[in-house]
């Protein structure tokens, strides 16, 4: 038998009617009321951070829901940047709070104060100095320790502030830079560097020079209590260590511009670090280019020209060129495991093949001595080359790379102690031969 149900009726089980499911009705966000409550706590406690912290702890404010508003309205209040308002609206288009700047609520997208009580405990009247801002950083650290889930909200708010540097006055940007530096210096609950550095790389901010000014103030403040290694560690975590020039406007984006700017700002340690970094990159590039040409058995004249061009472009010192050339030549040798004689033959063949290249750049006794020290170090550090030292030196002499005076000077007065006694003894027969030849002449 078929039973037909009306479209308006629903079947029941066991005589129990199925109740329709109630919808979850979310209460509308009210960040304005939340921020007003936070402001009132500051007013009631006259801005005493210890008392404010205790009052916040005992309050029934919904921090999990209004985390961003809390930092905008309260915690970052201590980086006040007066008369500035950032455009950020909630879905309900309610009035939001930027007490971080004005000490009270403002209309979205304007600097016009909204109605409601305002406080006077921001640092609007303070100098942009660590003494005025550090207590606020420590206070925020205490808040985060009690409510660690708020660290994400701090990240969100910090990122929005830094993306809007152009809305701040110069003095205000400096306060923000000092706060950010102190936040990292105090290890503010693991605030990630990428939150700070990556949002800064907006073309309009970089082009106007705002980012360069900000990071300069940041670097100077951070290095007051921390080492350069600590700063570099932060830059690495922020994936900016190799991209420091990106902070500069395009017209000033050069190694020379970098050195000039930070030297003027008194950050010579950063300048030296960057110059060393550039130097290492140029050495690596030069070594790679020569290695490729040797592996491809490029004509000697072309290899020599490549080295000259790279040296000129990178402004490499002659001693570094000699070291690189020897490293590249030995790296290209096809070593034969523990077969000492085959290794010796391969090394000596390489010296003979590329003697002209070494000759071009070993232009005086000082550079020849540098080459001998380089050979000494490699033979000392590489077991398979330990016994090859006298043969390699003899080959370099035979190919006119090393002069007799250079060999004798190294033998009598050489200063590098690495394996020296062993190598001097091994080189005695050759030196004796040189001395006898000198006497005969």
Name which of 87-91, 213-217, 415-419 the model is least confident about: 87-91
pLDDT given for residue 197 in this prediction: 85
Res. 401: pLDDT tops 90: yes
Whose structure tokens read 């040798």?
Answer: 333
| Share above pLDDT 70 across residues of the chain, in percent, rounded to a whole number | 78
Phi-psi region of 187 (alpha: psi -120 to 50; beta: other; left: phi over 0): left
The Cα–Cα gap between 121 and 291 comes to: 64
Predicted local confidence at residue 20, as pLDDT: 52
Residue 75 is predicted with a pLDDT of: 40
Between CA 436 and CA 222 the distance in angstroms is 65
**Nearest Cα to 328, choosing from 345, 350, 311, 349?**
350
Asked if residue 145 lies in contact with residue 56, where contact means CB atoms within 8 angstroms, the answer is no
Mean pLDDT of 399-420: 92
Contact 58, 138 (CB under 8 A): no
Fold of 332-440: 1.25.40
Most confident of 51-55, 122-126, 160-164, 411-415: 411-415
Phi and psi, residue 75, nearest 5°: -60, -50
Q: How far is CA 201 from CA 72, 117, 166, 208, in A?
A: 22, 37, 13, 12
Residues 396 and 347 sit within 8 Å (Cβ to Cβ): no
End-to-end CA distance of the chain: 131
Sign of the Cα pseudo-torsion (222, 228, 233, 235, in order): positive
What pLDDT band is residue 262 in, cutting at 50, 70 and 90?
Answer: very high
Min mean pLDDT across 151-165, 206-220, 287-301, 386-400 is at 151-165
Q: What is the pLDDT of residue 41?
A: 79
**pTM, two decimal places:** 0.69
Helix 300-314 to helix 318-331 angle (10° resolution) is: 140
Tell me how far apart the alpha carbons of residues 310 and 283 are, in angstroms, rounded to a whole number. 9
80 has pLDDT over 80 = no
State phi, psi for 136 to the nearest 5 degrees: -70, -35
Could you tell me which residue, 168 or 304, shows the higher pLDDT? 304
Rounded to 5 degrees, what angle do the CA atoms 338, 341, 346 make? 95
Rounded to an integer, the average pLDDT of 17-21 is: 54
What mean pLDDT is predicted for residues 164-192? Answer: 85
Write the pLDDT tens digit of every residue in 264-308.
Answer: 999 999 999 999 998 888 888 889 999 999 988 899 999 999 999
Q: Exposed/middle/buried for 75, CB within 10 Å: 0-12, 13-18, 19+?
A: buried
Is the pLDDT at 48 greater than 80, yes or no?
Answer: no
pLDDT in tens, 299-340: 999 999 999 998 888 888 999 999 999 999 998 888 776 677
Whole-angstrom distance, CA of residue 352 vs CA of residue 399: 7
Q: In the numeric block, which tokens belong to residue 220?
A: 């100077």
User: Is 265 in a helix, a strand, or coil?
Assistant: coil
Residue 103 has pLDDT above 80, yes or no: no
User: What residue segments make up the domains of the chain, in order of their start?
Assistant: 31-266, 332-440
Confidence grade of residue 29 (pLDDT, cut at 50, 70, 90): low
> Please, which residues have CB within 8 angstroms of residue 156's CB and are 6 or more apart in sequence?
67, 68
pLDDT in tens, 202-236: 899 999 999 999 999 999 999 999 999 999 999 99
Say if residue 346's pLDDT is above 70: yes
Confidence of residue 79 (pLDDT cuts 50, 70, 90): very low
Please, which residues have CB within 8 angstroms of residue 256's CB and are 6 or more apart in sequence?
A: none
Name the strand (E) or helix (H) holding 289.
helix 268-295
Maximum Cα–Cα distance across the chain: 132
Q: What is the pLDDT of residue 440?
A: 64
């Amino acid at each position: 038998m078929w039973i037909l149900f009306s479209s308006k009726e629903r079947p029941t089980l066991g005589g129990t009617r199925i109740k329709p499911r109630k919808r979850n009705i979310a209460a509308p966000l009210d960040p304005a009321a939340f921020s007003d409550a936070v402001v009132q706590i500051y007013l009631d406690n006259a801005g005493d951070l210890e008392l404010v912290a205790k009052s916040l702890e005992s309050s029934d404010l919904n921090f999990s829901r209004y985390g961003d508003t809390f930092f905008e309205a309260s915690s970052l209040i201590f980086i006040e940047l007066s008369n500035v308002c950032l455009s950020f609206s909630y879905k309900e288009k309610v009035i939001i709070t930027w007490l971080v700047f004005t000490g009270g609520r403002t209309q979205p997208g304007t600097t016009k104060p909204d109605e409601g009580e305002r406080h006077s405990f921001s640092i609007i009247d303070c100098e942009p100095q660590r003494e005025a801002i550090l207590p606020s950083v420590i206070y925020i650290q205490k808040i985060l320790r009690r409510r660690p889930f708020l660290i994400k909200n701090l990240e969100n708010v910090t990122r929005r502030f830094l993306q809007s540097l152009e809305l701040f006055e110069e003095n205000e940007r400096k306060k923000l830079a000092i706060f950010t530096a102190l936040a990292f210096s105090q290890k503010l609950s693991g605030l990630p560097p990428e939150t700070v550095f990556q949002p800064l790389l907006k073309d309009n901010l970089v082009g106007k020079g705002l980012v360069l000014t900000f990071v300069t103030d940041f670097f100077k403040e951070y290095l007051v209590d921390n080492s350069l290694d600590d700063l570099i560690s932060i830059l690495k975590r922020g994936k900016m260590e190799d991209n420091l020039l990106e902070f500069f406007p395009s017209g000033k984006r050069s190694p020379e511009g970098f050195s000039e700017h930070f030297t003027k700002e008194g950050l010579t340690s950063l300048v030296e670090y960057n110059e060393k970094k550039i130097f290492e990159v140029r050495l690596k590039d030069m070594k790679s280019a020569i290695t490729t040409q040797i592996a491809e058995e490029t004509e000697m004249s072309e290899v020599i020209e490549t080295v000259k061009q790279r040296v000129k472009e990178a402004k490499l010192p002659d001693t570094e060129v000699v070291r690189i050339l020897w490293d590249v030549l030995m790296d290209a040798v096809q070593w034969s495991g523990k077969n000492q004689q085959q290794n010796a033959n391969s090394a000596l063949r390489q010296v003979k093949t590329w003697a002209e290249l070494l000759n071009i750049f070993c232009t005086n006794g000082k550079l020849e001595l540098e080459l001998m020290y380089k050979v000494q170090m490699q033979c000392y550090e590489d077991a398979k080359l330990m016994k090859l030292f006298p043969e390699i030196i003899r080959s370099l002499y035979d190919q006119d790379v090393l002069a007799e005076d250079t060999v004798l000077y190294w033998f009598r007065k050489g200063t590098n102690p690495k394996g020296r006694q062993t190598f001097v003894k091994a080189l005695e027969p050759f030196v004796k031969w040189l001395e006898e030849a000198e006497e005969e002449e």
